């Protein structure tokens, strides 16, 4: 046997030893890990869910800090009269006139052109630069700005705090419109960021209302059973059969015109929550029906625990991970419902910045032919919903970590 062959067998022996030792350590870590650690490990092994998770985290942060990231106010006060229906402006670092350390844009001019049926045409003056500045003063905003104005005064409130006027970036002269502007001159970039925040808020409020109702109704129906279960199931089935579009058409006719944008927002989110609980309630009921005969439930009953205590402390924690997964999967459907209703004019409308209201303009023929940047909010809506769906699917697979065994 040559020295080379002997050395190869020698190293192969130690390689097998190391592989076996590593496999043994993995098995020990697997069998001694908690359920939470197993869920995290399995979720991290799903690359699609991890990428979607990072994308979702980014969009959530963008929505939360939308006022700080927006160079213009998303309403009529931030409109640019000299850049109506203007295309996206992308900052540059160099052109035929040379390189610049600071990103810059060109000054723009408006004129009517016979080639475009006397529509306003925006042209660039490449001899004059405008420079991007960071950490600039701009329009004033509040991170907490809540206002509710219902008929009467009992439930009205107006809360505004954490007010600032600093923004991440702006221009030394004029404005910057990364996604272009719409026909009124409002900045699509700023409106899109605020629309993401609105979708997050609507989805969160709707999911919270659905979650509370599902826990109460599903928990009571599953634990007590009998005639209580029958009555609650009839109510659940009745809610499931209500068609949402005619319902919102009736509600749209009911809402007074004098309601503020914030009031309409709370109203739409509440209605979405009130009609979105039946699916989760049925799943909670099914689980409690199968678990209420277990020995630990009987032991709790014999010790004198109340029904509410047993449901809250023993039954619901046994499938908390599944509830979280259901909430993550429900969230994009609430956002999608709000967007669809706003798109057809039955949900949130201007001046509220929602993805649905921004998408109303894309159905116009003039937009399809001449103003394609109106479709940018559609891209964010698709990415937002898909990110939630992929994260929900990843959590659903990871919520049962023992279905994947280590060999």
Q: Which residues contact 316 (CB under 8 A, 6 or more apart)?
A: 215, 219, 284, 323
Assess contact for 80 and 86: CB atoms under 8 A.
Answer: yes
Q: What pLDDT does residue 6 have?
A: 47
The edge-to-edge listing of strands for the beta sheet with 157-171 is 92-95, 98-113, 119-148, 157-171
pLDDT digits 0-9 by tens, 355-403: 888 887 777 777 777 788 888 988 998 898 889 888 888 887 777 665 5
User: Quick one: pLDDT band at residue 134, thresholds 50, 70, 90?
Assistant: very high
Per-residue pLDDT at 113 exceeds 50? yes
Mean pLDDT of 348-355: 77
Range among 116-120, 139-143, 149-153 with highest mean pLDDT value: 139-143
Out of 6-10, 85-89, 273-277, which region has the weakest mean confidence (pLDDT)? Answer: 6-10
pLDDT digits 0-9 by tens, 305-348: 887 788 777 777 777 777 777 787 788 888 888 887 777 777 77
Residue 118 DSSP SS3: coil
109, β-bridge pairs = 123
Per-residue pLDDT at 406 exceeds 50? no
299, β-bridge pairs = none
Per-residue pLDDT at 274 exceeds 60? yes
C-alpha span between 108 and 90 (Å, rounded): 13
For the chain, give the mean pLDDT. Answer: 79
Query: Where exactly are the structural domains of the chain?
Result: 77-183, 192-403
Mean pLDDT of 145-172: 73
Give the closest residue to 284 by CA, choosing from 243, 318, 252.
Answer: 318
**Largest Cα–Cα separation, the chain:** 98
Q: What pLDDT does residue 146 have?
A: 67
Element (DSSP H or E) covering residue 110? strand 98-113
Q: First CA to last CA across the chain, in angstroms?
A: 36
Mean pLDDT of 191-204: 88
Q: What pLDDT does residue 204 have?
A: 86
Q: What pLDDT does residue 18 have?
A: 55
Assess contact for 214 and 287: CB atoms under 8 A.
Answer: no
Q: What pLDDT does residue 152 have?
A: 57
Out of 125-129, 237-241, 288-292, which region has the weakest mean confidence (pLDDT)? Answer: 288-292
- CATH number belonging to domain 192-403: 1.10.3720.10
């Amino acid at each position: 046997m040559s020295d080379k062959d002997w050395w190869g067998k020698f190293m192969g022996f130690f390689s097998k030893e190391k592989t076996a030792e590593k496999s043994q350590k993995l098995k020990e870590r697997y069998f001694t890990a908690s359920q939470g650690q197993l869920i995290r490990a399995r979720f991290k092994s799903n690359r699609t869910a991890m990428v979607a998770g990072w994308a979702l985290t980014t969009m959530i942060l963008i929505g939360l800090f939308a006022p700080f990231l927006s160079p213009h106010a998303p309403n009529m006060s931030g409109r640019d009269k000299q850049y109506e229906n203007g295309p996206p402006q992308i900052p540059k670092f160099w052109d035929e006139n040379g390189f610049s350390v600071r990103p810059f844009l060109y000054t723009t001019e408006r004129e009517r052109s016979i080639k475009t049926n006397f529509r306003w045409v925006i042209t660039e003056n490449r001899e004059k630069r405008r420079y991007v500045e960071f950490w600039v003063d701009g329009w004033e905003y509040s991170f907490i700005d809540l206002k509710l104005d219902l008929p009467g005064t009992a439930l009205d409130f107006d809360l505004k705090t954490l007010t600032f006027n600093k923004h991440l970036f702006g221009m030394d002269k004029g404005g910057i419109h990364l996604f272009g502007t719409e026909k009124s001159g409002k900045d699509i970039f700023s409106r899109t960021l605020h629309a993401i925040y609105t979708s997050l808020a609507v989805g969160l409020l709707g999911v919270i209302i659905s979650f509370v109702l599902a826990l109460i109704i599903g928990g009571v129906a599953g634990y007590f059973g009998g005639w209580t279960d029958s009555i609650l199931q009839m109510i659940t089935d009745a809610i499931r059969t209500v068609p949402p579009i005619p319902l919102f058409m009736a509600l749209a006719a009911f809402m007074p015109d004098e309601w503020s944008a914030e009031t309409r927002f709370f109203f739409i989110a509440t209605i979405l929550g009130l009609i979105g609980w039946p699916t989760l309630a049925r799943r909670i009921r099914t689980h409690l029906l199968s678990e209420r005969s277990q020995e630990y439930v009987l032991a709790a009953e014999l010790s004198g625990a109340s029904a509410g205590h047993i449901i809250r402390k023993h039954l619901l924690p046994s499938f908390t991970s599944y509830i979280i997964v259901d909430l993550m999967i429900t969230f994009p459907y609430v956002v999608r419902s709000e967007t669809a209703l706003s798109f057809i004019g039955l949900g949130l409308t201007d001046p509220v910045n929602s993805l649905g209201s921004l998408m109303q303009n894309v159905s116009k023929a003039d937009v399809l032919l001449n103003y394609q940047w109106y479709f940018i909010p559609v891209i964010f809506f698709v990415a937002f919903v898909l990110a939630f769906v992929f994260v929900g699917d990843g959590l659903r697979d990871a919520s049962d970590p023992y279905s994947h065994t280590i060999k």
